[in-house]
Chains A and B, each alone.
Chain A
């Protein structure tokens, strides 16, 4: 009951004309930032910080603006994933797997509508989760030490098999390549640099955004140049942006599962939105891929990761607010904003600054409604943005990619690295090696290794620490089942599935 009173107070704060205007502005801006490959949510929020200062916004108003951009980018990322096969930001990576095939079958409108709905579903439920259990859920973070986190990552990689490619060997090669690239940079446990060749720019490792933009956007531009504009990826008919009720109904279970997985991944500081959408997709594939339709344009392959990444975005606010731990680049920027506004996140934030917290939560609900409207009935506007003729769009994509990457670090080195990834992506595409596992390797490999090294430092090299708690034992059990079960199942299913 008390929660409802507090939430109503929050709505009172958030529902001023200025704040609603900020939420609408932030949602539109966020969707555009999310949709443009090369500009991620963390750039978007970072660009806005000086603006918030310049306008002298109140903490609540500034947070409303930032969170609308944050949620907006999570919605927008899917648009370019589906239409261009380029993830607009890193959590939208998994949406390319089935979203783009759907678009090629002329079902782009359906994919957009369904993913918009799934995004809303995930984000809305996650915000409710934040209301009901925010401060309590923060305690979950205390249960995950290095060993438990390592088991979680191991579980994610165990379910990777066959993802994104017909050819297991090629997918494993790609994941290995990504994991190797993740090794570059300063090695935390020893403080020495690895594989940097003494190069200062590589000391902090390969930025995954550079890799994503290179492997997807730049590669696409190169393919376009090769085909001299005749046969480009973007000859897609969008069609009407609605999803048949039957499809939506069919995906309800998918969305619930995706939301649950994403939300948990978001709450865990060691995991985050990318792991959330990755797990949501791979678990859904394990459960539902009975007719081997995943990766060929299965609507559930779009609904699962979109519900997952939006739920994770909501979940990630919990450790940020209550523990001061940013689960992603974007929450890190928002945390910095809070600090400069004299708000210290911590276990007492909900008790000490109820106005702010509940105002923020109310703002999340408002942003979600605005985004639902923007992303289903009005998505056509954003689509038109991307549906200009290829000969105009492709130079634009290249331009945004160069400008976006330069804005992250202000260094030309990253631009060079991005182009190198583009060329690598082009070669790999010719060889039929998928790019998605490479990104997952870079994105998650680093964290996974750090957790392992920490666990082993604590235990003085004793491996038993890795399976010494009920949580880690359960995670390992799931991982092993995930790895072996498909092999056994395949043996039974093979004769029937031979044709598909």
Chain B
């Protein structure tokens, strides 16, 4: 087995060097050498998954020589890694930092101390986990509009369970829906914060709460087993594959789209050539069949953005979250 492995590595290395040679003619003078990916949380979380799966793809597609080193730099909900990149790694060309909607949410709410989103460069996203609203399978509620009518009539009659803290993305999602449904005082929406989506779904199935706000990937197992019924998905169009029978919120007259994207930022002082290289590399991965498989298996939907396109998306998301957070009194 070992022998086999080393042979693979040699072949991989040779192909890798060839691929890098072609890639570098396209994007000026940058060649990755010892690429590092920082996951701003511990092993096992979403950011760690982003680093490891994309790191593996970069290596499999020979976009980097050898392996990508993954560093777990946890703390402050990603704020420790953000501060450390800004202050100490500001011009590292060979560094990617995993990020998601949670990163933007915390930046928008000022939870990373004095840090701001323009202190890094947003290089690209590779996929997204779309928000869903679900109920237990035996619930009488059939549609999102029916649920929101109940909430508006008597806010205390519906408790929503979600996997993020108050003010976090699972909470904001349901508030966005409430705003779209025309609720006057969305602070009355009852949200119960659990430690992760799995725990929140269990509480829904156990009948301790009436609805679930989370991402599709957190609920896949329970949807398949028939314990949970999704009444709306917060995407622009219906999801492909096995979930194409779930109606979007938009179809039900509530215009809310809530992608929890997975992607990266890079240091602001890294060279333009390296920035271009990484944004091209992410595009290559997004288009590969290997990545399609990773997405299918993890409930991710296509959401590939890079360069200026991604930057303007981030700017808009920052404004949206900041406005909503101010409206509901999380920030002042």
Contacts and interface: CB of A to CB of B under 8 A. Distances in A.
Interface in A396-437: 408-411, 413
B65 to A, nearest CB: 15
Contact of B208 (A145, A335, A347): A145
A256 interface: no
Contact of A201 (B71, B76, B168, B224): B76
B166 interface: yes
Which 4 residue pairs across A and B have the least CB separation, nearest first?
Answer: A346-B221, A191-B167, A336-B44, A200-B76
Interface string B287-320: 0000001000111000000000000000000000
Which of A54, A348, A460 has the most chain B CB atoms closer than 10 A to its own CB?
A348
B192 A204 contact: no
Interface string B189-214: 01111111011011101111100000
Interface stretch (B26-34, B48-56, B92-100): B48-56
B94 to A, nearest CB: 17
A411 B205 CA distance: 39
A141 B156 contact: no
Interface of B: 1, 5, 42-45, 48-49, 52-53, 56, 67, 70-77, 79-80, 83, 111-113, 156, 159, 165-168, 171, 190-196, 198-199, 201-203, 205-209, 218, 220-222, 224-225, 227, 293, 297-299, 330
B44 A411 contact: no
Nearest to A346: B221
Given A336-B49, A344-B221, A346-B225, A460 B156 contact: yes
Contacts of A335: 44
A203 B53 contact: no
A329 B80 CA distance: 20
A324 B198 contact: yes
A25 to B, nearest CB: 14
A201 B202 CA distance: 31
A201 B52 contact: no
Given A53-B52, A346-B222, A458-B208, A325 B76 contact: no
A18 B4 CA distance: 15
Contact of B74 (A144, A348, A409): A409
Interface in A20-51: 42, 45-46, 49-50
Contacts of B53: 340
B205 A142 contact: yes
Contacts of A408: 42, 74
B159 A458 contact: yes
B166 A189 contact: yes
A206 to B, nearest CB: 12
Nearest to B159: A458
Contact of A269 (B43, B193, B199, B224): B199
A342 interface: yes
Interface string A279-305: 000000000000000000000000000
Given A201-B80, A204-B76, A332-B44, 12 more contacts: A56-B5, A145-B206, A191-B171, A200-B112, A324-B218, A325-B198, A326-B44, A346-B220, A347-B225, A409-B80, A454-B194, A460-B190
A132 interface: no
Contacts of B168: 191
Given A144-B206, A188-B165, A336-B49, A204 B77 contact: yes
A190 B164 CA distance: 11
A191 B48 contact: no
A359 interface: no
- The majority secondary structure among interface residues of chain B is mixed
A418 to B, nearest CB: 14
A146 B156 contact: no
B77 A203 contact: yes
A412 to B, nearest CB: 10
A339 B298 contact: yes
A485 B156 CA distance: 40
Contacts of A46: 42-44, 72
Contacts of B112: 200
6 contacts: A53-B56, A141-B206, A326-B198, A332-B44, A349-B221, A411-B74
B205 to A, nearest CB: 6
A324 B200 CA distance: 11
A146 B159 CA distance: 13
A53 B71 CA distance: 15
B44 A55 contact: no
B202 A323 contact: yes
Given A188-B193, A191-B330, A333 B75 contact: no
A225 interface: no
A329 to B, nearest CB: 8
Interface string A183-208: 00011111100000010110110000
Nearest to A54: B67
Interface string A115-130: 0000000000000000
Contacts of B171: 191
Contacts of A55: 1, 5
Which of B72, B111, B167, B202 has the most chain A CB atoms closer than 10 A to its own CB?
B202
A104 interface: no
Contacts of B48: 336
B64 to A, nearest CB: 15
